[in-house]
Amino acid sequence: MKRTKSRLEDDAPLPARRAVLHQATQVLLGALFAVLATVLQNVLWEWIGPSRFILYYPAIIFAALLGGLTAGISAIGISALLAVYYFIPPTGTFAIASLRESPQLVAFILSGISITILNSLLIRRTRELEKAKTVSSQHERLQTILDTLPVTTVILDSRHRVIETHGNADQVFIDSGEHSTPIWENTNVRCLWTNNDQTIGARDWPSMQALLNNVVVAPREITIVRPGESPVHILTGAAPFRDSGGHVIGAVVAIQEISLLRETEALLAFERHKLDAIFQLSPAAMALWRGPGMVFELANPAFQALFGGRDLKGKEFLEALPEFEGQPFTDYFRRVMETGESFTGREVLAKHRRTKDGPIEDRYYDFCYVRINDWEGKPYGVYDHAIDVTERVQERELRERFVAAFSHDLRTPLTAVKMSTQLLTRRWAEAPPEAQKITSRIAENIDRADQMIRDLLDVSRLKAGENIQIEIGYCDLRNIATDVLGDLSTIHGNRFTLQADKPIKGFWDSKGIRRILENLCGNAIKYGAPDRAITVSIDQTEEKVEIRVHNEGNPIPPEIQSKIFEPFRRASSVETRKPRGWGLGLALVKGLTEANGGTVRLNSSPDTGTIFTVILPNDARKQVSRAA
């Protein structure tokens, strides 16, 4: 605490010149009040008469009050001299007091001295009371400050005995009934230096060192071990304090408990260890880029292995991996850094070298970019979590190419069989009904097989990222729906209801719309309640048209609904029945809908049944051309 000058020091001896000047000032002050009293006496002569001392008493009192003892004595002396030699108005001549008035003069002098001494004592006592009040106020203010600080303060005397404490003294005292024993005097408590676990003796405490060596001891960390309790960590330092003569008369000890800080540091270290273990041992590639320059700050072994162990840390992305110039990854990084929104990529193509001098290869990654903020909430960098899925992509592409080639080659013999069947039908026009029935069944099954192959080819194109070939033209959806439901009714009976009060005209692929309706209605027949109607409704607004196919029956489980439009997906609730397809129909519905610039959604619950809704623009040409 900064030491302030005490008011008691006002009476300390002044330098010689200042002392002489101070005394002279007091003498002049006393003379000034004496002269002023003389002037007033002459002015008021008519009223006070020859009473020479009546106005000198106030002069002495004021001089003593304002100037102290010296000013009062000066006022007495000057007043006594002026009382002996004084003017007699109105002639302005001097008069000298007779010897008969000497007792009055002596009484005046003695009484003046008494008044001066009393005034001086009164002034000194008043000043002492003011100083005591100021000191008490400062002490209370200091106590309030010490009690509110998050630091325990202990004041010791020169014998290392506790005088007073402020704050939470539990860290350094053990309650033993009437008295509190300092921990350095308690044999049941072990005090250790935290950094080396050595026991601390009483003479080694910072407070004792401050007293013995008369030095300020910097804070040190100490661990206090009490029986049956968790260790307590404190930070303590000490400084001696001295009397006016410079002698050490005690010490001030500051103590702050940091157990929570140390516990938090240990927990943070443990969490950091876990994260570091995950970071280093994870098979996923992980990296942290810092700042707008995309500087590598961290890269785990899996990430470095992707690039042949090249030196990445501390380098900018394009400096360390120049082959990524012109690829979209830096744009993804900047977008995440600027907006704070995470970016997820699925099977994204990256062209890079797997060794420092190797050729550039095509690799595919699933990855996620996440922005990392600093302690102030400002953007710091971007974390990259990536998985190499190249083998998965290559296997899928190989499988899809095989399916496409196989399906294409399979259609060739089917076409020949179909043509032969048609030739037999024409030649055997007069054949028995049974023969015609057989040839008709052969043709129907060939058509069914051909449709399945076409579906498989279209799904293969969709999975390969290609678009289904469509031909957009002007057509009426109500007419298409009427034809489809009519064909289905000849096979499945009158189970269909069409809700379309007016023609629904626009530009779409009529064959694609027909396949959408056939698949959705076929799906409703397969998995809907066999004794309930299937409703097809079509509504058109100024911008779009909605086709809804509704059937009642067991709903599609929620966990299946999000994947129902994927190829070869069928609801688990229906897979216990006899197989009725390959699970391609809904994938084709989604692909054909998107090829016409639309979307498809599903709503299935026990209360509403199952509703597939296809939403198409009134003019698919605009959407398709925009997508192209």
Per residue in 97-139, pLDDT tens? 554 555 655 656 666 676 677 677 777 777 888 888 888 888 7
Please give the pLDDT value at position 79.
67
Burial of 607 (0-12, 13-18, 19+ CB in 10 A): exposed
Mean per-residue pLDDT, 501-519: 90
Backbone φ/ψ region at 196: left (φ over 0), alpha (ψ -120 to 50), beta = alpha
Q: What is the DSSP letter of 291?
A: T
| Residue in 541, 500, 532 with CA at minimum distance from that of residue 517 | 500
Identity of the residue numbered 140: E
Whether the pLDDT of residue 261 is over 60: the answer is yes
User: In the numeric block, which tokens belong to residue 416?
Assistant: 């020949």
Average pLDDT, the chain: 78
Mean per-residue pLDDT, 545-559: 89
Mean per-residue pLDDT, 478-482: 93
- The percentage of residues in the chain with a pLDDT greater than 90, rounded to a whole number, is 28
Q: For residues 30 and 72, is the Cβ–Cβ distance under 8 A?
A: yes
User: In the numeric block, which tokens belong to residue 457?
Assistant: 């080819």
HEC string of 14-52 equals CCHHHHHHHHHHHHHHHHHHHHHHHHHHHHCHHHHCCCC
Mean per-residue pLDDT, 291-306: 93
Please give the pLDDT value at position 423.
72
Preceding omega of 90 cis (within 30 degrees of 0):
yes
Q: For residues 586 and 565, is the Cβ–Cβ distance under 8 A?
A: yes
* Phi/psi of residue 126, nearest 5 degrees: -65, -40
User: Which positions ≥6 away from 94 have C-beta within 8 Å?
Assistant: 85, 86, 87, 88
pLDDT band at 176 (very low <50, low <70, confident <90, very high): very low
Whether the pLDDT of residue 597 is over 60: the answer is yes
pLDDT band at 366 (very low <50, low <70, confident <90, very high): very high
Whether the pLDDT of residue 19 is over 70: the answer is no
Cα separation, 153 vs 608, whole angstroms: 74
The helix/strand/coil state of 345 is: strand
Q: For residues 545 and 539, is the Cβ–Cβ distance under 8 A?
A: yes
> How many C-beta atoms lie closer than 10 Å to residue 286's C-beta?
18
pLDDT band at 575 (very low <50, low <70, confident <90, very high): very low
Cα separation, 499 vs 451, whole angstroms: 28
Mean per-residue pLDDT, 22-49: 67
User: Which positions ≥6 away from 269 have C-beta within 8 Å?
Assistant: none
Mean per-residue pLDDT, 271-291: 92
Mean per-residue pLDDT, 76-102: 56
Q: Where is 324: in which H helix or E strand? A: none
- The string of pLDDT tens digits covering residues 195-218 is 777 787 777 888 888 888 889 999
Mean per-residue pLDDT, 65-89: 64
Is CATH 3.30.450.20 the classification given to domain 150-263?
yes
Q: How many residues does the chain have?
A: 628
Q: What is the DSSP letter of 173?
A: E
Q: For residues 594 and 458, is the Cβ–Cβ distance under 8 A?
A: no
Whether the pLDDT of residue 5 is over 80: the answer is no
pLDDT band at 50 (very low <50, low <70, confident <90, very high): low
Least confidently predicted of 25-29, 127-131, 266-270, 489-493: 25-29
**Sequence-ordered alpha helix ranges (H) in 353-432:** 390-427
Q: For residues 509 and 596, is the Cβ–Cβ distance under 8 A?
A: yes
Please give the pLDDT value at position 81.
64
Mean per-residue pLDDT, 20-47: 68
Cα separation, 154 vs 53, whole angstroms: 62
Between 577 and 33, residue with greater pLDDT: 33
Please give the pLDDT value at position 6.
35
Please give the pLDDT value at position 193.
77
Between 515 and 106, residue with greater pLDDT: 515
Mean per-residue pLDDT, 173-181: 48
Between 502 and 18, residue with greater pLDDT: 502
- The percentage of residues in the chain with a pLDDT greater than 70, rounded to a whole number, is 70
Which range is most confident: 135-149, 257-271, 412-426, 437-451? 257-271
Report the CATH architecture of 473-627.
2-Layer Sandwich (3.30)
pLDDT band at 91 (very low <50, low <70, confident <90, very high): very low
Please give the pLDDT value at position 58.
74
pLDDT band at 44 (very low <50, low <70, confident <90, very high): low
Report the CATH architecture of 283-388.
2-Layer Sandwich (3.30)
Burial of 99 (0-12, 13-18, 19+ CB in 10 A): exposed
Mean per-residue pLDDT, 225-240: 85
Whether the pLDDT of residue 467 is over 80: the answer is no
Cα separation, 112 vs 79, whole angstroms: 10
Mean per-residue pLDDT, 72-79: 68
Which sign does the torsion angle of CA 70, 75, 78, 84 carry? negative
Whether the pLDDT of residue 576 is over 50: the answer is no
Which range is most confident: 92-106, 199-213, 465-479, 598-612? 598-612
